[in-house]
Structures are given as C-alpha cells and as structure tokens.
Amino acid sequence: MENYPQLVPLIILIPALGAIINMLVGARLTERWSSLIATTASALSFVIAILLYSYLHASGYQAAIVNPPVLQDWILIESLNINIPWQLRVDTLSVTMMLVITGVGTLIHIYSAGYMHGDPRFSRFFVYLNLFLAFMLILVAGNNFLVLFVGWEGVGLCSWFLIGFWFDKSRGIGWKNANAARKAMIANRVGDFGMLIGIFLTFWTFSTLDFYRPGEIANPHAGEHGAAVEHVEAATVEGETAGEHGDEHGDEHAAGPVYTDNEHIPTEQLGVFGQAERMLALPEGDPGRTVALGPFRADIVAVLGLITFFFLIGVTGKSAQIPLFVWLPDAMAGPTPASALIHAATMVTAGVYLMVRSNVFYAAADLTSLLVTIIGVATALVAGFVALGQWDIKRVLAYSTVSQLGFMVAAVGIGAYGAAMFHLVTHAFFKALLFLGSGSVIHGVEHGHHETHHAAHGDGHAGEADEFDPQDMRNMGGLASRMPVTYITYLIGTLALAGIWPFAGFWSKDEILGDSWVAGLVNNELGGFIALAGLLLAAAFTAFYMWRQVELVFHGRPRTEAAAHAPESSLSMLIPLIVLAVFSVIGGFINLPGNAAIPTLGLDAVLGVHQFGSFLEHSVVNIHAADLQPLIAIVALGLAIGAILMARSIYGLNRGVTADRRDVLEANASFSRMWRLANARLYWDETYRRLFEQPFNRTSQFLADTLDWAFWHDYVHDTIIAKGFRAIGTLLSQPVDLGLIDGVVNGIGRLMRWASGGLREIQTGYVRTYAVSVLLGVVVVLIILLLPYIQRALASGN
Amino acid sequence: MTELWLFIIVGAIAVFAAVMMLLSENAVYSALYLILTMGCIAFLFLLLDAPFLAMVQITVYAGAIMVLFVFVIMLLGAERFGAGRPRFRWLTPLGVVAALAFLMIMGLGVLSGGIDLQTPPSDAPQLRVINLAADSGPIDVYANDRLIASGIGFNSGSDFVTLEPGDYEISITPAEGETFGGSFTFDPDTVQALVAYGSAGDIALSVIPADFSTPEKPRSGRVTFFNANPDYSTVTVYDLGPNGELDTNTQGVVTDRVIAELAPGEASEPILYEEGIYRWAFVTPNSSVIQRIISGDTGREYRLERETSQLVAFANERSIIDDQLHPTSAAFRNEAAPAFGSPMRIGRDLFTRFLLPFELVSLLLLVAMIGAIVLTHREEARVRDRAALRRRVSRPLASVIASQVGRDISKPDAETPALPPAEGRTPAGD
Amino acid sequence: MVQTEMYVMLAVVLFVLGTLGVLLRRNAILVFMSVELMLNAANLALVAFARQWGNVDGHLFVFFVITVAAAEVAIGLALIVAIFRSKKSINIDELHQLKG
C-alpha cells in the first residue's frame, strides 16, 4: 500500500501511451479497437486514482511526493541555486481532482465511442481525449507551479485540438470551428501571460516553485478537530526511480524522529506555501517579512497580493471568467463529448484548482480575494442572464458553466475553499450529464431529421448548414416521450444544477451560500455581502433558464418533424448518462454540512458530514467546515423552486416559442428588450472587437505596411543600404581599383620597360666593349681574391 | 745558373715577340711573331721538365694552329688592313689601364704570395701485404681491426691500400691457426710492403719500404732482397760469377760478390741495377742451400727490366710432390714510375685517370672539324641547271622573284651571278 | 732551379700582352691570336706549377688546353671566313648586329 504513490507517473503515462498508440496506428484500427484502447487507458488511470485514494485513506491522508524517473532534475542549475524538479504530488486535493478527471473522463470516453460513430477521424478524437487526460493529470498532479503550468498549457492545446476538430466542414462551418478554436487559444494565452508573471513573481520571492517540499506537512492541524490526532509520520516517498520500494524510508522514519509540524525545517528548504506562512507569521515590521524584488522592497502581503492578482488573470482565462470568458460559448463548436469533458467538468476547473491550491496566498491577500469575489459574482450574474436568451441547447449549457464557475470563483474569493472544491466536484457530475444529455438530444434530432428528410447528408453530427440546425431548441420539443432515458437523466441533472434538495447541487451551492452568509453577515466582509446577494440571484437565474430549457426541449409537443421522429440514443451513450445521474443524486452526500445527517449506507469513509472537507483539509490549510444555515438554505431553495415555477408558467404548455419562432419573452413587449439583450450576449464580443481587435489590426497593419515595408524595406534597405553599397562599390572600383591599383600595376610595368630599355644598351654588339667589361670584372675579382697578398706586398714596401 | 740565364734570355725573347705581335701592322708578321713566342714557350717547357709538352707545343700549336692562322690570313688577304678610325676612342685608354691594373695586381699577388714556399701536401701512406709464410694458407690481414687484405695466398701480394698515417695494430689471420700481429707506425709519404714470413704457427711481420720512383739512372731498376726463411740464422746473397756457380777460392771461401747478408726478416736496401741478366743466389751458412734466383723464362738467370722495382725473397715452400718444405726464392715485380714529364708518364695518366676527358676532347676535335667544313662550305653556282629551273617557275611567281631579285629571271639570262670581283679593295681594318 | 715565381710572372706578363691585344686590335684574326697568346701564358703557368709540385696533372691539363685551343681555332677561323664572305670585312667594330 505504501508504494501506491509510485504509480502516479503511470497515471499520466497510460493516457499518453494511449494517445500515442491511437496516433500512430489508429487510422488502421477499427472503431471498436480505437475506442477500446482509449477507454481502457482512461479506465486504468481511474483505477490508479482509486488506488491512490486508498493509499491516502490508509496512510492517514499524508501527502506523498513522487519523483518520476529520469525527469527528476528537470531544471537544475546548482550554481544559481535553481532547482525545479519534475515532481508529482499525491495528496488529497490532487487525488480528488484525479478521481473526478479520470472518472468523468472514462464515462465520456464510453460516450464518445457511440457519439463519434462514423466520423472519418474517429481515432484522432480519442488521441485528443487521451492527450487531454494526460495533460490535465499533469496539471493536478504537479508538485510545483511549473509542472502545473505545463499541464495548463497542455490542456489549452488540447482544447484547441478538440474545439477545432471539425475544421474541415464545408460551407464555412469549418472556418467557424477553426476560429472558435483560435479564439479559445488566444483568450487562454492572455490569461497565461498573467499566470506566467505570477509564477515569475513566486520564484523571485521564494526562490522555489515547489508547493511543499518532501518532509513538509501541508496542514499540521488537519484532523485535530475531527477525529483523534493520528500518528502522523512525515512519510514521503522520494525515490530515484518509481520502482524503488518505500518501505525502507518508512521504517527509517519510523525509527527516527516523528514530526507533527514543519518547525524543524529551515525556511529556505520549505516549499512556497510554507515559506509564505512563516513569513506571514512574523510580526509586522520584521525584516523577514519584506521581499526584495530588484530595487523594490515590499511586504509579503503586498507581494502575495500581486502574485494572486496575476494568478487571477490566468484563472479568468482558463476558467472563463470576466473578462476572458468569451471563448467558452464559441467553444461549443466542438463535438459534444469534448464540451462535456473539458468545458464542463475538468479544464475549466483548473483555475479553481489553482486558486484552491494557492489558498495560503489568497487567504493572505484580502484585496485580491475581494477582486476574485467580485469577478466571480459578476460572471455568475452576467452568464446567467445571457443564458436566458439563447436558443442553442449547448450554448445555454456553456453559459451555465460560466455561471457556475463564477460560483466557484466567488467561493474562493470569500475563502470558502472547501465549498468551491465541493461545488467543483458536483458540478462536474451534473454538468457533464447535461452536456452528454444534450448530445444525446442533438443526436436524436439529427437522426430524426435524416429520416424525415431524404436530403443528402455527408459528414458530421452537428448537422450541415442547410437550414435545419439540430441544436436549435426551437426545432425540438416533446422529446420526453421519445427519449425517456435521456429525459429522466436530463431532468435529474437540471434539478441538481438548480439546487433542488436532495440533489448534489443543493448541497454544494448551499455551502457556498452559507459560507457567503457567514462571511458577509457574521464576519462583516464586503465580499461576503456581494457574494450572497449576487449568488442568490444567479441561482435563481440558473433554475429559470434550466427549466426553460427542459420545457422547450422535452415538454410539450414536437415543433418539427425531426423532433417527432427522434429516436433514443444507443446504449453506449445512455450508460454514462445513467451513471452520472446516479452521482448527481448522491454526490452531495460527501460533504454534508454540520447538522444534517443521512444514512451513510456503509460508505463511512466517503459519505458523511464534512467528509469531503476533512478529506481536503490535509491539503488545504485554510479550509473550514460550514454548518448548515437553514435560513439561507430555505431561501435558496425557495428561489430555485420559484424560478422553476415561473419558467414553467412562461414556457410550459407549448407557450415557449411563438409561431414565428421567437421566444415568448421576446414577443412580450416589456421583456423584449431585455431578452434581446440576453440573446445578443450583452454585445460582449462586439465590444471586444471594437475595443481590442480593430485597434490591434490597425496597429499591426501600420507596423507591417508603413514601418516594415515602407520604412525599413524600402527606405532603409533600398535607399540606404543598397545605394550606399553601390556607391562604395563604385568608389572602390573606379578610383581605387582602376586608378590606384591599376596605376600601381601598370606603373610597375612601365618602370620595368624603362629600366630594361636602359639596361638593354649594355648589349652594344661590339665585342671589344664586352671584352673590356670582362677584364674589368676580372680585375675586381682578383683584387678581392688577392687582397691579403696585395696588402702584404704593399706593407712590405714592395 | 745556366738555367736562370736561359730562362731570362728565352723569356725576354718571348715577351719581345709578343709585343711585336701586337704592334705589327702586317697580320702575317704578327702570326710569325706569335710562332716565335710559342717556340720560346716550348723551350721553357723543356726547362720545366716537360719534354713531351714541349714537343706537343711545337707540333700542334706552333706547327698546326699557327699555320692555320697563316693560311686564313692569306686566304682573306688580311695581311694589310688599313688603319680605320677606331670606333670607341675611350676603349683604348680604358683597356690599357685595366690591363696594367691587372698586371700590377697579379704581380703584387705573385710576388707576395710565396708560391715557392708552398709544399705539396703529404700523401697518405700506402701499404700492401705480401704473404711469404709457408703453410699459412690464405691469410686475412687487419689493420686496427679493419680488413685491408683477405685471402692472400703464399707468394702473392695484395693491392696497395691507402691508410691514414699513424699507429696500427696489424693482425694476420691465417685460414687455420692462431692470429699473429704486430704494431707498426705508418708515416705519410711512404709506400711500404708488409711481408708475412715464417711458417704456419709462427708468422712474423716485417715492413719493407718500397720505392717506385723513377730510377735515377736510365734503363735501370731497383731490387730489394729479403730473407723470409726462418730456418736459417742468416742468408747471404751472392752475385754469382759468369758461369753461374759459386766461386770459391782455394780455401773454399766464396769469392763471388756479396750483395747482402740478411737475417730472417731483414731486407736489404734497394739497390739500383741496370737492366739485364743477373745471376744471384741465396746461400745459407755453410753453403748448405744454394738457392738460385731465377726468373721464369731462362731458369738459370734473373732478368731485370728497366724502370722496375723488385722484391726478391728467400722463403720456404711446401712442395706438393713430397709434402716437405723446401727453400725457394720469390720475386715481386712492380713498375717504377716513368720519368717526370715523359710521354710515358703522361700517357699512363692520360689513358687511365683522364680517359674520359681524353675521349671527349677527341670528340670535340671531330666536331670542330666537321663544323669548320660546314661553316665554310659554299654552294657552287650551277649554271647548267638554271635554265631548267627557270622553265619551271610560273609567271606570277617569276614576277615576285623578279621584284625580289631586281631583275626578271624568267628569261634565259646570259648573265650569271658573279662572284664579287677580286679588287684591290679590302675590308677595312687595321 | 729557377723559381716558379718567375715563370708565373712571365706568364702573367704574356697574359697581359694578350689581353691588350684583345682589347686594342680591331682585326678579328689578330684578336684571335692574342687569345692564343693568353692561352699559352696560362699553359706556361700550369707547367711551372706542375714542376714545382711534382704532379703530372698539370701537364695533362696543358695537353687538353692545347687540344681545345686547336678545336676552337678551327671553328673560329671558319667563322671568320664565313663572316668575311658576307661582310667583306673582319673589322670587329663592324660586327655589331647582335645588339640590344
């Protein structure tokens, strides 16, 4: 049991391997094999996640840090003291995310096998799904911000892949899909910029990016108020290879000192959060609290505020908050399973995970937390409002996702980290359910359309661009009788989303509302007030538009022949729906509030009061358990039920769509403008176009045409460089080369001719002159040779 | 003294003749004066012990070359050249000055050069090995561990070997038996023979100077006697009488002339004899052995050739008949050097050491002969072919030729190109 | 014995006279004869040295000199004859076509 954490690299590698297999040979496999490989990979990951959970449960919820082989010293520059290893972390928070990701993911894999049947790039879809799983798991399993960021970028990439999956559709739809993918990528990139700045600041401040170092205890006080203090060992598994047995370490630690907190570790060897906590614990004015950022000195709180602010930018990108949420509705261009997986259950929750992981930072940065709350609430309201006016079934769900993310973000803002995670989990269940259900509905309507209209249909399930849009709710209606299973599960999901007792959404949403009540009215925090008011309203919106959707899609009479002939979906699509529906019902019981009690059905470890919260407590320091606030609960429930009834009254009994295919609220004079505003999505995209895109395009055009071409290329290159070069060339060739060099060379020739002409005269032709010269030469030579004798003779007076 | 006066007179005549040669206007006179000079030089050659060259000078130089000169002068009619205006006026004084400078320098150089004080360098000593040891078989000779002769059998000698002057350890290694040796010093400018004598098992060495210079008297040769026989304490060399028998007086004392008395290993001085027949004998004490010295052809006498240097030795030889040692005489003949400057001497060197230059020079002479003929050959004008030649010339070509020559050649022309008229006009010159 | 020095001096004097003849006379044949005189002077010196050193090599060299002189005279006179035929003159001052 102790070395289950060693399996954590596998949880990433198995989906990666599945992706690779499908990538390399998928085209040659049958659909059955392709989907089987991918689904098996996903299921194996789920199994490993369960094993990790069991490990945690058995080891007292102590975290384990695993170094995968080879990549251990990922970034290691010892001389500069930079050490960012590729480390994975197995603790309650990450395992929670892993379970959700792999569980929901597996179900969606099963669903996709049926949904994508007949698609020419069937196996490619599963490549992307598995790849996404691998990256998302890297994101949640990382032990430092950089590994998280790798996963962050990776899931952004996969979402681009998946959104633009049908990029080759004819008649412009392919372009639209590609544009949507690009929009998602760019919006995410803007957020990533903020995220990176935040990571830089973190590294600059703390000289490390690790969440917790091996040997560190995340929350020394975990479990104290609940069960008896367990004998906590600083059991860390740090081996050179994944296969190394951890027993020796365990035994050694058993024999050595046992620590219950991190006091024995010097500050430099703590992880990011440990250092922050220690610095925050110092009194005001202590020099240990100041952080040196270049020439600036700042208090740790201010620095943390900056860091969290930049992280917030990243969150708004990834988790589709204001101002960067615009990509999520367009992302519905992708296949429905993709939407279900990444844009409902998992990827968009990465931002929330990041913030919950950094709860130490957020808890200390009050200003940023307030900002977080405001953004979350605003997003929830705006998205909820816009969802009222949408006709596309998936777009309603998309805005609903944005709205629910706003709930989670707001919860983080007010410090209710546990509530945020709780809502994340339950939301994953019912939102995935709703998306898959909508996919089923779309599928059915399409089939009905094909049956009734014998028009040629080529590719894709999302319908061709003939006038019939299978996703338009105006083309549906009365599907309850035709697709009963879909209807029942969709209904369950709707009720869960609306927050109806005892479904999952009630408990999680109620916890958020309760926490905001406590924060606002008990602790008098501004954020709490805002959260309470806004979220209540947003909850009402949620219930309203969801019931509107149910009425338009399932109740009443079919408005088109396609709907009249829509068949129920295949079993591979229905089974995940059922499973998710079950979870939507009982999912809330994992974290019941304080004074509610239900039979736990023997699953004591999972279900129960604050069970989830105490589970998370070991990883999230600032988590707190909330008691049930009956007033708020009842108010919220009442609002929800009221909204449902109102929706029923407006949209029920076939009143939803007027004869000219307008919404009934649109037709209504008093609500028409509001409805049209909602339908136009508050003109958000158009505003962005005016504010950002057009100036940007103008600027880039200026830079390209004027600056680059006219100035740089034409003027500088042609005039200055080319002409200058030619002038220098002329200079060198004319005076220098011809004049100087040729002059020298020719001059030498002339010199030679003159000299030889002079020397030529020596050859007179007269023998006597030659003879004389010979004689003279001989005389000279003789003088030289006989010099000593001559001197001797002269000296002796001869 | 006489020589000096002769030199002065002849030299003066030579110089005078040379000066006259220069000054004479008539070329033939100049040639004759030159012949006189050459004759004087030939005489001087005689004074310098070069009789052969003197003859060559007279024969070739004065007799052939100068005659050729005279022929050509006559042929060209150049005996009388008018004195034209000299072309380079400055050349005369310059030339005279240069020549006088030359004379001055050379004179100073010669006078102070101490030519006569130079001595020729010493020659390295030369050595040959003569094996006169009985029963020794072929011997190898080492000088300072350097092999200088190998396989020298009995009664034979090696070639002359040039050694560095100095001390040497000579060791004789017979085919079987021990090695014998000795220490000798070889001085420069000596020619010596190393004689191994004795018998096998007891080889002794002796060095005999050899003299190959020209015998002082003409028609004579040198003889050296050597005793190589260890069996007798001494041996006497007698010049036997005319009947070739030992002449004893009434008391039995040998009355023939004693040439030398030699102990074993002793050599006599080189004795100069005229060429001819001699009757010599080695006589041991008590006349126990009378060993005549004979040369091959007569059997009783010894013929001595002129200008030879001979070594006559008394040794033991093992007879192949009865395998006993018998006394014997051995002789080694070598040519002595011919007289200095004699034709024999020059011819000897010319045909051995200077053979290649000799051949080349003769080739040169041949080439010169042919060259002279070629250079002076002149085509005879053949009149009789002219008509035929003219007929074959085409009209246009004839006109071209006409323009070149200056007259039309297409027509038969009685006027033949004539030799230049032999007028009295002679080429200008001195 | 007369010293070698004297012979060499005599040879030098004869050589100088020959040189003067080469320089001063304009008749080609006279020049030629002066050259022969120079050769003779050299021969004399050679023989004198040969006698002093007792080496016959000097005589041999003289032998070769004489031989080569003979060859040279043959050719030279043939040349002079040929020149005379064409130029009717053997004044060496008139033989100057081979000039620079």
Q: Are strands B161-162 and B166-174 parallel, antiparallel or unpaired?
A: unpaired
- The pLDDT of residue A686 is above 50: yes
CB contacts of C79 in chain A (<8 Å) are none
**B414 at C interface, C-beta within 8 A:** no
Give C84 to chain B, closest Cα distance, Å.
8
Q: Of chain C residues 37-96, which have a CB less than 8 A from chain B? A: 37, 40, 43-44, 47-48, 50-57, 59-60, 62-64, 66-75, 77-82, 84-85, 87-91, 93-94
Mark yes or no for CB contact A766/B87 under 8 Å: yes
pLDDT at B390: 63
Chains touching A (3+ CB pairs < 8 Å): B, C
Q: Which domain holds residue C52?
A: 26-90
C3 part of a folded domain: no
pLDDT at A147: 93
pLDDT at A464: 47
Contact A479, A566 (CB under 8 A): yes
Mark yes or no for CB contact A778/B112 under 8 Å: no
Three-class SS state of A682? helix
A535: confidence class by pLDDT, cuts 50, 70, 90: very high
Mark yes or no for CB contact B112/A776 under 8 Å: no
CATH of the domain at C55: 1.10.287.3510
Mark yes or no for CB contact A766/C93 under 8 Å: yes
User: Residue A779 is nearest to which of B87, B105, B112, comparing CB atoms?
Assistant: B105
CB contacts of A761 in chain B (<8 Å) are none
A222: confidence class by pLDDT, cuts 50, 70, 90: low
Q: How far apart are CA A716 and CA A724, in angstroms?
A: 10
Residue A381 in tokens: 């309201």
C61 part of a folded domain: yes
Q: How far apart are CA C76 and CA C71, in angstroms?
A: 8
**Helix (H), strand (E) at residue A388:** none
**Cα→Cα distances A90→A62, A136, A212, C41, Å:** 9, 15, 11, 122
ipTM value, please give it: 0.94
Residue A767: closest C-alpha in chain C: C92
User: Residue C36 is nearest to which of B52, B65, B76, comparing CB atoms?
Assistant: B65
Contact C27, C53 (CB under 8 A): no
Give A759 to chain B, closest Cα distance, Å.
19
Please write the tens of the pLDDT for every residue from A68-79. 777 778 888 888
CB-side exposure of A113: number of CA atoms within 13 Å?
22
What are the residue ranges in chain B where pLDDT is below 70? Answer: 79-87, 200-201, 241-244, 249-255, 296-299, 381-399, 401, 406-430
Q: How far apart are CA C56 and CA B50, in angstroms?
A: 9
Mutate one of C27, C61, C99 to test the B interface: name it (highest B CB count within 10 A). Answer: C27
Burial of B280 (0-12, 13-18, 19+ CB in 10 A): buried
Q: How far apart are CA A77 and CA A313, in angstroms?
A: 30
- The pLDDT of residue C11 is above 90: yes
Mark yes or no for CB contact C29/B76 under 8 Å: yes
Give A784 to chain C, closest Cα distance, Å.
18
**Helix (H), strand (E) at residue A11:** helix A8-25
pLDDT at A137: 94
**A773 at B interface, C-beta within 8 A:** no
Q: How far apart are CA B391 and CA B20, in angstroms?
A: 59
A9 preceded by cis ω (within 30°)?
A: no
C15 part of a folded domain: no
Mark yes or no for CB contact A769/B95 under 8 Å: no
User: Residue B30 is nearest to which of C30, C62, C74, comparing CB atoms?
Assistant: C30
CA C21 to chain centre: 10
**A778 at B interface, C-beta within 8 A:** yes
Q: Of chain B residues 156-215, which have a CB less than 8 A from chain C? A: none
Please write the tens of the pLDDT for every residue from A301-322. 889 999 999 999 999 989 889 8
Sign of CA dihedral A456, A457, A463, A466: negative
Mean pLDDT of A317-338: 88
Could you tell me which residue, A560 or A661, shows the higher pLDDT? A560
User: Residue C98 is nearest to which of A765, A768, A772, comparing CB atoms?
Assistant: A765
Q: How far apart are CA B346 and CA B50, in angstroms?
A: 10
Q: How far apart are CA A746 and CA A792, in angstroms?
A: 54
C80 part of a folded domain: yes
Contact B264, B197 (CB under 8 A): yes
Q: Rounded to 5 degrees, what are φ and ψ at B145?
A: 65, 15
Residue C8: closest C-alpha in chain B: B110
Mark yes or no for CB contact A769/B111 under 8 Å: no
Residue extents of the structural domains in chain A:
367-416+447-457+469-679, 768-798
Residue with the two structure tokens 């040959």:
B128
Residue C14: closest C-alpha in chain B: B15
Chains touching B (3+ CB pairs < 8 Å): A, C
**Cα→Cα distances B305→A140, A661, B342, B427, Å:** 132, 162, 18, 64
Mean pLDDT of A251-274: 66
Contact A159, A328 (CB under 8 A): no
Mark yes or no for CB contact B429/C9 under 8 Å: no
Strand partners, B222: B272, B309
Q: Which percentage of chain A shows pLDDT scores above 90?
A: 30
Please write the tens of the pLDDT for every residue from B214-251. 888 878 888 888 888 777 788 888 777 666 677 776 66
Q: How far apart are CA B299 and CA B291, in angstroms?
A: 12
Q: How far apart are CA A194 and CA A308, in angstroms?
A: 10
**How many CB pairs lie under 8 A apart between chains A and C?**
33
Mark yes or no for CB contact C100/A764 under 8 Å: yes
Q: How far apart are CA A497 and CA A549, in angstroms?
A: 12
Mean pLDDT of A100-111: 92
Share the mean pLDDT of chain A: 83
- The pLDDT of residue A665 is above 70: yes
User: Residue B72 is nearest to which of C9, C19, C80, comparing CB atoms?
Assistant: C80
Q: Range with the lowest mean pLDDT among A332-341, A415-424, A561-570?
A: A561-570
Could you tell me which residue, A100 or A680, shows the higher pLDDT? A100
Please write the tens of the pLDDT for every residue from A46-67. 999 999 988 888 887 777 788 7
Give C99 to chain B, closest Cα distance, Å.
15
C55 part of a folded domain: yes
Residue A420: how many other CB atoms lie within 10 Å: 31
Please write the tens of the pLDDT for every residue from A483-534. 899 999 999 999 999 988 888 888 889 889 888 888 888 777 787 888 889 9
Q: Of chain C residues 17-36, which have a CB less than 8 A from chain A? A: 19, 22-23, 26, 31
pLDDT at A229: 27
Mean pLDDT of A528-546: 90
Please write the tens of the pLDDT for every residue from A230-250. 222 333 344 323 333 333 333
Contact B130, B228 (CB under 8 A): no
Most confident of A82-86, A197-201, A256-260: A197-201
User: Residue A775 is nearest to which of C23, C31, C96, comparing CB atoms?
Assistant: C23
pLDDT at B392: 60
Looking at the 3D structure of chain C, how many domains does it have? 1
CB-side exposure of A490: number of CA atoms within 13 Å?
28
User: Residue B95 is nearest to which of A772, A793, A794, comparing CB atoms?
Assistant: A772
Mark yes or no for CB contact C92/A762 under 8 Å: no
Mark yes or no for CB contact B50/C84 under 8 Å: no
pLDDT at B234: 82
C85 part of a folded domain: yes
- The pLDDT of residue A764 is above 90: no
Residue with the two structure tokens 């990176």:
A196
Answer whether 0.80 is exceeded by the pTM: no
A454: confidence class by pLDDT, cuts 50, 70, 90: low
